Structures are given as C-alpha cells and as structure tokens.
Structure 1
Amino acid sequence: MPSSSSYQLSTLEGFVSGVLSACVAVTFTNPMEVAKTRLQLDGELMSKGSPKTYTNPIDVLRKIVRNEGFRACQKGLGAAYMYQFALNGSRLGFYESLRKSIASLAGQDPSKVQLWSSVSAGASAGVFGAILGNPLFLVKARLQAHSVVPDPSIGKITTNPNSATAVLTNSQIKSSLSPHRTRYAYKSAMDGLDQIFKAEGLKGLMRGVDAAMMRTAMSSSIQLPAYNYAKTNLAPYFSPDSFWLYIASSSFSGLCVLGAMQPADTALTRMYNQFDQSGKRLYKNPIDCLWKTVRIEGFTGL
C-alpha cells in the first residue's frame, strides 16, 4: 500500500476534492465577492471624480448590512457552489491528467513539472470549466449586484433608484442621470436560470462566455503553475507536508492570480450586467469593455 506522501489522487478523487475545497473556501469569501461585484459596477463608465456609492470593500459590506441585512452579504452563494462544481471541479480535477498528457505528447517526462505544460494544462482545464459554469457565474454576478434599501417615506423595502446597483423600470432608466445599473432581480439561482432561458434561450445563458474564458484562462494558467513553483522552491525550508508550506504556496499563487485576472474579472462583471438608457449593450466584447473603461475611467477603473 502506498504511503500517504506518495499517494496520487485519481481523476475522480481530484474532481471531488477540488469541488469540496472550493465550496468551503467560497463560503468564507463570498461576502467579499459581493463587495467586489458592486465596486466593479459602481461608477461604471463615469469620468474620474464622479460621485460613487461606495469607497472601499468595508464600506460596501457596512452599507449592505445596514440596508439589506446580514443575509445579503451571502447573495449568490447557492450559484457560487454550483459554479465551483463546474469550474474548479474540472480545473483541479482534470489539470494533472491534462498536464501529463501534454508532456507525454511532447516526449517529455510527465513525472517532472514543466512550466509550459503546466500553463497549457491549466488554461485548457480552466476554459473548459468556464464554458460549463458560465450560466451559473452569470446568475451569481447578477444576484450579487442587485440591491434593495429601506425607503423611509413608506417604511417598506423598495428598490433604490439612486443606488449604483438598483433595478429600474424602463421609464426610470430613461430618466436616470446614471444609466449604468443592473436591472436583473432573481429570487434564486434556479429562478435566474429559468428567467434567462425563457427570455433569451441558450444564447442568454452563454452571454459573456468570451470574457469568462479570458478571465479563467488567465487565472488557471497561472494558479496551479505558480503553486507548484512556490511549493517546489519553498520545500527545502519546511518539513515534508508542512501545513505552512501549503499556506505559503497558496498565498503566492493567489497573489499571482489576482494580478493577472483582475482586469478580465472587471470586464466579465460589467458584460454580465451591461445595458444603457435605450436598453442597448454598452460593450461589443471584453476587449471593447476594457478599452472603454481605461479611456473613460483610467487604469484605476480596472
């Protein structure tokens, strides 16, 4: 029987462990994901110096709790769980098999980690997962962007037309000073998928998939190679299978992913929620979104 240190996970075991670990992580990180989504939409295509609803992630969470309650900090959590099944299950579960196959096809030793094969395998697995998970990430982003606040004039919860993430009627959209708002309000992830499919069909469910593929390819091509690189180079400084070795390697990988995918992530969020005063799309594709964002808001808009 192989020792625990040499045991290799099967594809199925890698898939299951990838999903479970990602779901545990997303439970704790989802509130910050909600904050990030609203910050990415706040001040969309507005010039520098324009007033914004939020100042930083903590301010977002504080206003969410005050106006919508603690549960609103976990908006889109159900969709996030399902998305992790599609994305991280395939990305983490199939990565090692793809890496070894690519290395073997190139005549290289699959037992040795090569940078180019790791990058290729990570990007391929990530793109495949992004395509499968796009409908779920679409719904998650829209659920997290939607906000309601208490209207003191009537003492009821209503949609706030002055919020950067308000859901407006067509007449409100046309008369609004800032048209860059989300108009999607779903009861749940399944309700969102149902509404999108009924209104737009399969095309609607795959909206923004080009941006999702770009975002995920960038993150996947870096995440696992960066982790392997850090773990290999830090191993001499830690005991075998040290908890702190995994923490240090994961932290390094996370920082690399953050720097690489942030612009693409902003483009993805905006493409999922885009529309203007006449109901037309603001962006043609992810590159157009990034170009307009930089041109109008500057690089800080990314």
Structure 2
Amino acid sequence: MTAPAATTRKPSAVLGFIAGGMAACGAVTITNPAEVIKTRLQLQGELTRQVPGSKRIYTNFGQAMAHILRHEGIRGVQRGLGCAYMYQLLMNGTRLGLYDPIKYQIHSFLRTDPAKPSYLVNIVAGGTGGVLSAFLASPLFLVKTRLQSYTSHEPSRVGHQHYYRHTLHALGSIYKAEGIRGLYRGVDASMLRTGMGSSVQLPLYDFVKQQLIQVGNLENGSLCHGLSSLISGFFVCMVMNPFDIISTRMFNQATDPNTGRGSLYKSPLDCFLKTVKTEGVTALYKGFTAHYLRIGPHTIFTFVFMEQTKKLVDQWRNKF
C-alpha cells in the first residue's frame, strides 16, 4: 500500500486483487478464532440490560477461547473458516487491489504527482475501495457471522442461532427464504463499517510507514511493515468497533415471518440507538480486545505479505 516511488506506471487492479486476496486468506487462517470470539462477545447480552453480579458465558478473550475449545474443539474456534476465505478473497482482494489504482486515477484527474503522498487522496481512495468491496462481499459477511455465532453446545449460545451445513447451503437457504433482499440484509451497515475502516487503515498505514522510514530510520522491510500494521491496526479497531457491533447484530438477527425483515432492527441507526439505550455506550466496544487481537495480527500478516507480493509483481512487470 505504498505510494509509488520512482515510477508513475498505472497500478494493476487485477494483480492487486490477487495479491490482496492471497495475503488476506493467509492472515485469516491465523486470526479466524479471534473473529469467532469477537462475534460471540458482541452478541452476548444483546438488548439486555446488564444486571450487576449476573453470570456471562464469555467474560474475556482468554476465557472465551478456553470455553469454546473445551466444548466445541478446534472446529469451534475455526467456525466459518471456509466462508472467511471466500469473504477475504472478494472483500480484501477488491479493497486492497483497488486502493493504488483509485489513488492513481484521483491524481490523474487532479493532475497531481502520484509520487507525492496526499493523505486526503489516500483517505478518499481507501474509503471508496472499502465501500465497493463491502457491497460486493456483504452476503458472505452475513453468512460468516451466522456460521461463527452458531454452536451445537446449547449452554454456549448467544444471539439468534442460524443452522447451515456450509457456506453454499447458507447462501441457498437465505436466497430461497428471503431472496436477494435477505442476502443483502445489513449491507448499509457493512458499507459503513468497511468504508470507515479502510479510510483510516490504508492511509494511516502509509503515513506510519513513511514516518518510521524517514524519522525512525527503519529500512522499508518486514519489520517496518509489521510495526506500521500493528500501530495502524489499533486505530482502525477504535474507529471500526462500533460499526462492527452494528453489522454483526444486523446480520445475525432473526427474520420476522410477517414482514420478511429483521426482527430486531430496521436500520443501522435503529440498531445503534437500541443498543446504546439498552446496554449503554460501552456496548459499542464489546469484544474490543478480541477485535484487536483479530485485526492487529490480520493487518500485520496481510500487509507484510502484500508488500512482499507487490515487490515480486513489480520485478515481474519490469521484465516485460
């Protein structure tokens, strides 16, 4: 995700898609357990006022990991992994793949030098790519959320339980029962979530990396990329968590048989207001630790792999 250095060659969206998708798939293999835990923490106590002293199924990241492993095994902490691969390939392949080409097009339109970083251009490019990718991948995000929230161990259940055998069964079942509208339930929340996250993540990663190189005298290598990812990941998590809560709850709610719409929330704003009114503002940061333990390593592995892949791609392109 670096700004072009010595060349203004137009970036390839196809090669960026492949590199971004591969990087994200590699990262999600490691971070999917944290995603499962985050999802369940976010659904726990949904629209229920917390009573002091009341017991919760999941109390923190470590306890939740141990609880799921004990009752559901490795399969439990890796629920939805197949769908996560599909989601990462489509969402991050699009989001990361479009970032540099969108920046290039904006610079071309403004007739500015793409070799000179512009944080406003970076924010617009990151947000635009995020919104587009979220729209495309929203049905997979919906299915992934439902697969991860489901458990056959009844005492471990939080939120509404949707049972699907696998990703394709889920997509087919939702389409058969609710049509396209059902597959795209919560797409507005998803677009807000990913748009906000991308508008912060990609430009901030660029900024932090440049500062580490110029001020910290670090080489433009794996250590620099890893530190840039770790720092930017924390701030991304701060911005995204409220939108992530809303997306998770919009996706996981049951369907009202009378209206064919969600039974709890009419819109992201309705979800936000109901959540804050019933559970307090702090509910918007439920699962924050699990979210960061997912997004931090995921960002590191994605960007480190992405940078190395881009170097190989650039070397290959320069030969032709």
Same fold (TM over 0.5): yes
The residue that corresponds to 2:36 in the other structure is 34
Structure with max Cα Rg = 1
Counterpart position of 1:13? 15
| C-alpha separation in 2, matches of 1:277 and 1:67 | 31
Aligned counterpart, 1:172: none
Shift in Å at residue 256 of structure 1?
Answer: 1.4
**Residues 1:242 and 2:244 are matched in the alignment:** no
Report the CA distance shift for 1:6/1:12 in structure 2 as closer, same or farther (over 3 A).
farther
- Report the CA distance between 1:163 and its aligned residue: 4.0
Shift of residue 106, structure 1, vs aligned partner: 2.3
Q: What is the aligned partner in structure 2 of residue 251 from structure 1? A: 230
Alignment of structure 1 residues 11-90 onto 2, 5 Å? 11-49=13-51, 50-90=54-94
Hey, what does 1:139 align to over in structure 2?
A: 143
* Greater helix share, structure number: 2
The CA deviation at 1:85 is 1.4
Summarize deviations over 1:89-108 as a string: whole Å, max 9, x none.
11111111101211222232
1:296 equivalent to 2:278? Answer yes
Instruction: Look up the equivalent residue of 1:271 and give its one-letter code.
Output: M
The alpha-carbon distance between structure 1 residues 213 and 277, as it changes in their structure 2 partners (threshold 3 A), is closer
1:114 aligns with 2:118: yes
For each residue in 1:114-146, what CA deviation from the matched residue of structure 2 results, as whole angstroms up to 9, or x when unmatched? 111111111111111101101111000000000
Aligned amino acid, residue 225 of structure 2: Y
Name whichever of 277-286 and 22-31 sits farther off.
277-286
Secondary structure of the 1:238 match is coil
RMSD across aligned positions (CA): 1.9
Amino acid at match of 2:249: R
Aligned counterparts of 1:182 and 1:45: Cα–Cα separation in 2: 12
3-state SS of paired residue (1:187)? coil
Name the structure 2 match of 1:261: 240
Aligned to 1:177: none
* Alignment equivalent of 2:168, drawn from 187, 190, 203: 190
Aligned counterparts of 1:89 and 1:79: Cα–Cα separation in 2: 15
Q: Give the residue type in structure 2 aligned to 1:99.
A: K
For the residues of structure 1 that align with 2:268 and 2:143, how far apart are their CA atoms? Answer: 18
User: How many angstroms apart in 2 are the aligned matches of 1:284 and 1:292?
Assistant: 11
Do the aligned partners of 1:45 and 1:296 also contact (CA within 8 Å) in 2?
yes
Report the residue type matching 2:35 in the other structure. E
Q: Check the 8 A contact 1:238/1:245 in 2, yes or no.
A: no
Equivalent in 200, 220, 223 of residue 198 of structure 2: 220
- Worse overlay, 133-142 or 270-279: 270-279
How many Å separate the matches in 2 of 1:203 and 1:277? 13
In structure 2, the partner of 1:174 is none
CA distance in 1, matches of 2:78, 2:252: 19
Measured at CA, do residues 207 and 277 of structure 1 come closer, stay the same or move farther in structure 2, by a change above 3 Å?
A: closer
Q: For 1:293, give the aligned amino acid.
A: T
More deviation, 181-190/271-280: 271-280
Q: Taking structure 2 as the reference length, what is the TM-score of the superposition? A: 0.80
Q: Deviation at 1:68?
A: 1.3
Task: Tell me the TM-score normalised to structure 1 length.
Answer: 0.85
Deviation at 1:277, TM superposition (A): 9.4
Shift >3 Å, 4+ stretches: 5-9, 275-280
Cα separation, 1, equivalents of 2:46 and 2:218: 48
Q: Indicate the residue corresponding to 2:304 in structure 1.
A: none
Q: What amino acid maps onto 2:271 in structure 1?
A: C
Q: Distance in 1 between matches of 2:127 and 2:237?
A: 15
1:199 corresponds to 2:180: no
1:6 positional shift: 5.5
2:130 is the alignment partner of 1:126: yes
Q: Distance in 2 between matches of 1:240 and 1:42?
A: 44
Structure 2 stretches of 5 or more lacking a match?
285-320
Q: Structure 1: which 5+ residue stretches go unaligned?
A: 150-159, 166-180
Kept in 1, the 8 Å contact 2:164–2:170? The answer is: yes
Identity in percent: 44
